[in-house]
Amino acid sequence: MTRLNGKTAVITGGATGIGRAAAKRFVEEGAFVFIFGRRREALDTAVADLGPNARAVQGSVSDEADLDRLYGAVKAERGTLDIVFANAGTGSPLPLGQITSEHIDETFDTNVKGMIFTVQKALPLMREGGSIILTGSSAGTTGAPGFTAYSASKAAVRNLARTWAEDLKGTGIRVNVLSPGATATELAKEALGEEGQKAYGAMTPLQRMADPAEIGAVAAFLASADSSFMTASEVAVDGGLAQL
């Protein structure tokens, strides 16, 4: 398939997990992809796997200067930008009663503030027909015990799409939310182990965790003209977890 032929995409959090799976799918469908992340080794490994139509820029979405370098690299090599997959995120458990200011700042600096500036700084490069995809989470709908800051930050992401769809009227740029549920990323495998993954997957009607490639496939749909009449929408790719 070549639904993204000739398109230029940025994927934050693109070195591993859902971001890397999406980058692979985007490249397969014809896009030129810039992946952005904090760990140089992971970025280098990803780019080697993705091939000549991928570039890596190291940095953090919580650092505006890093984002400026990212979009400077995009402008220098490609001139314009068609797709932004604002996927970088963080989250760790801290139950009510133990929450700290530092924990809230770390979560919201990446998941909300970082996402806002990822998108805002991309807009001068984007053209009519562009697609912005924000990574939400099933936790933004259902909540998640012990994950106050994370769940609240992902609920905020859902509202960003609704607000920006209004702000972007007349530009021809669409913005939608992709909300995964339990996904077998490298981080999930390390954190949960095999038994933990089985237990988490059993919570969904499909009785398993998602493969990151399944999330990447939906990201490619939202990036492409196949979703041309969608904006302000949330697409749940969660095995039904938050739908019942």
Q: Which residues are catalytic?
A: 150, 154
Residue with token string 């314009």: 80
Unique residue bearing structure tokens 């259902």: 142
Distance CA 134, CA 223 (A): 11
| H helix intervals, 123-233 | 139-142, 148-167, 186-201, 212-223
What does the alpha-carbon distance between residue 133 and residue 175 come to, in Å, rounded to a whole number? 6
Where would I find the H helices in 13-92? 17-28, 40-50, 64-77
**21/34 Cα distance (integer angstroms):** 13
Q: What is the dihedral of CA 34, 37, 42, 46, to 10 degrees?
A: -20
